[in-house]
């Protein structure tokens, strides 16, 4: 049974709950997926790509394909053009969300569904605060606006994922949360059981040194109740560094209910125009056991030691304790980037083979599809030559192989929906 999303209600409630700009022109309701998305058996992949020939300010196109492992698709004459240059993507409740990063200004949040024929169709569009954190929580999308200076309050906004509209909000004073004279800057947020865990870094937020800190070797995770979004406690540790990084998830929950935190411990400071590493602790993986709100002091997986000096850049969870990890080498850049399959149960690292040497950009961070059997991850890699491909990473063999080519565009995200 198909349903229609009540966009007028979504726009009306959004305006009532938070001071945002709302258009008087409604979006035409479109057919959505069935009430029981578990009955849907077909899969389409959504590949976001930025046209290589685009003029400054031109946005991504959303392309849909049935298979990521072969063939090619062009940005010319295909896809749905997004509104606004900088877009970020996520899925929840079989909806695809495209969020405009407004660089301080309000940004559009557009949701899409696949209709019965597998065509990507706009379902709703409303304008909200520009946010730096967005994550699925139950049947909602949690958005967090994180101020880097000035305003001391981070704003939390709950959006109904199936019928997109704002359903609640809260705030937390980031200066009081840090409690060290700096301010807490959330790197991401993850649902852990019935709570939200939000790791943060400490930043000065002033003095021409916004992201500098005097505390590069500490780990903090703020625990919030849900849906009340009340701060319950802060989980602390000093064995590694910040979990995740700006716009990068740092906490993942496995099938057992344990939460694993990934730290790059790669904080730098500009000295005489050069970035100098100030983190002393190793890049590592830590664990919070199910039912607890403390780091497990008996578990410490030094990624840096296992790899001879590499640091964690970003991670994606396959399943069954295995992760795809993108690494930093000697410098904090993609130069010489390597990928690894990490088993957090066995504490092993296998470097991935089969990759090109000239990678320019990758979509590992929050933008990747995982196969239904949780053994394959699909990542967009753009080479120095400008060619952009989907690569299939195998968790079992720690190998990668080239798949779909996107002609005339740079891949910026990969997701999947059912229909």
373 inside domain: no
Buried (b) or exposed (e) across 2-38, using 16+ Cβ within 10 A?
Answer: eeebebeebbbbbeebbebeeeeeebeebbbbeeebe
Structural domain containing residue 227: 134-305
Q: Is residue 247 part of a domain?
A: yes
Compare 88 and 71 and report the one with higher pLDDT. 71
Confidence of residue 102 (pLDDT cuts 50, 70, 90): low
Q: Is residue 356 within 8 Å of residue 383, measured between CB atoms?
A: yes
Within-domain flag for 368? no
Retrieve residue 187's tokens.
């790197």
Structure tokens at 333: 């850049």
Q: Is residue 359 part of a domain?
A: no
Check which CATH number belongs to the domain holding 203 and give it: 2.40.128.630
Report whether pLDDT(217) > 90. Answer: yes
Question: What residues contact residue 109 under an 8 Å CB cut-off, 6+ apart?
Answer: 97, 98, 99, 100, 125, 126, 127, 128, 143, 159, 164
Query: Would you state the pLDDT for residue 270?
Result: 86
How is 385-401 classified by DSSP, letter by letter?
A: TS-EEEEEEETTTTEEE
> Quick check: is 174 in a domain?
yes
What confidence score (pLDDT) does residue 54 get?
A: 60
The answer as to whether 186 is a domain residue is yes
pTM exceeding the 0.85 threshold for the entire prediction: yes
In 43-194, beta strands by DSSP E: 43-51, 61-65, 72-74, 80-81, 87-92, 95-100, 107-114, 120-128, 133-137, 140-145, 153-160, 166-173, 183-186, 190-192
Per-residue pLDDT tens for 255-309? 999 999 999 999 999 888 888 899 999 999 999 999 999 999 999 999 999 999 9
Total residue count of the chain as it appears in this document: 419
Domains held by the chain: number: 1
What would the mean pLDDT of 170-188 be, rounded to a whole number?
97
User: Is 312 within the bounds of a domain?
Assistant: no
Does the residue 335 lie in any domain? Answer: no
385 Cβ neighbours under 8 A, 6+ residues apart:
358
């Amino acid at each position: 049974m198909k349903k229609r999303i009540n966009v007028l209600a979504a726009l009306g409630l959004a305006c009532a709950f938070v001071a945002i700009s709302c258009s008087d022109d409604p979006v035409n309701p479109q057919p959505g997926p069935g009430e029981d998305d578990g009955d849907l058996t077909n899969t389409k992949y959504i590949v976001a790509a930025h046209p290589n020939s685009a003029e400054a300010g031109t946005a991504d196109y959303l392309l849909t394909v049935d298979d990521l492992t072969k063939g090619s698709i062009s940005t010319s004459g295909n896809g749905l053009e997004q509104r606004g240059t900088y877009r970020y993507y996520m899925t929840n409740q079989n909806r695809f969300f495209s969020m405009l990063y407004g660089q301080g200004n309000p940004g559009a949040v557009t949701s899409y569904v696949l209709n019965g024929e597998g065509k990507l169709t706009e379902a709703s569009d409303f304008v909200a605060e520009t946010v730096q954190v967005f994550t699925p929580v139950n049947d909602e999308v949690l958005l967090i606006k994180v101020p880097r200076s000035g305003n001391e309050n981070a704003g939390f906004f709950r959006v109904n994922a199936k019928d997109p509209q704002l359903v609640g909000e809260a705030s937390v004073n980031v200066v009081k949360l840090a409690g060290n004279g700096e301010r807490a800057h959330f790197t991401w947020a993850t649902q852990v059981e019935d709570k939200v865990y939000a790791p943060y870094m400490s930043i000065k937020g002033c003095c021409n040194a916004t992201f500098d800190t005097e505390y590069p070797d500490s780990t903090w995770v703020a625990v919030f109740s849900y849906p009340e979004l009340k701060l319950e406690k802060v989980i602390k540790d000093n064995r590694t560094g910040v979990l995740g990084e700006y716009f990068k998830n740092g906490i993942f929950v496995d099938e057992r209910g344990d939460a694993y935190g990934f730290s790059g411990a790669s904080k730098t400071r500009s000295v005489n125009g050069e970035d100098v590493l100030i983190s002393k602790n190793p890049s590592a993986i830590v664990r919070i056991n199910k039912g607890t709100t403390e780091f497990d002091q008996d578990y410490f997986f030094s990624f840096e030691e296992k790899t001879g000096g590499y640091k964690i850049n970003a991670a994606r969870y396959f399943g069954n304790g295995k992760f795809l990890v993108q690494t930093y080498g000697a410098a904090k850049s993609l130069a010489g980037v390597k990928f690894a399959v990490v088993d957090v149960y066995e504490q092993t690292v296998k470097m991935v083979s089969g990759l090109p040497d000239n990678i320019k950009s990758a979509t590992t961070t929050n933008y990747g599809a995982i196969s239904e059997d949780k053994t394959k991850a699909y990542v967009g890699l753009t080479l120095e030559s400008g060619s952009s491909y989907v690569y299939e990473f195998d968790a079992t063999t720690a190998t990668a192989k080239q798949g779909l080519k996107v002609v005339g565009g740079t891949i910026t995200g990969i997701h999947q929906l059912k229909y």
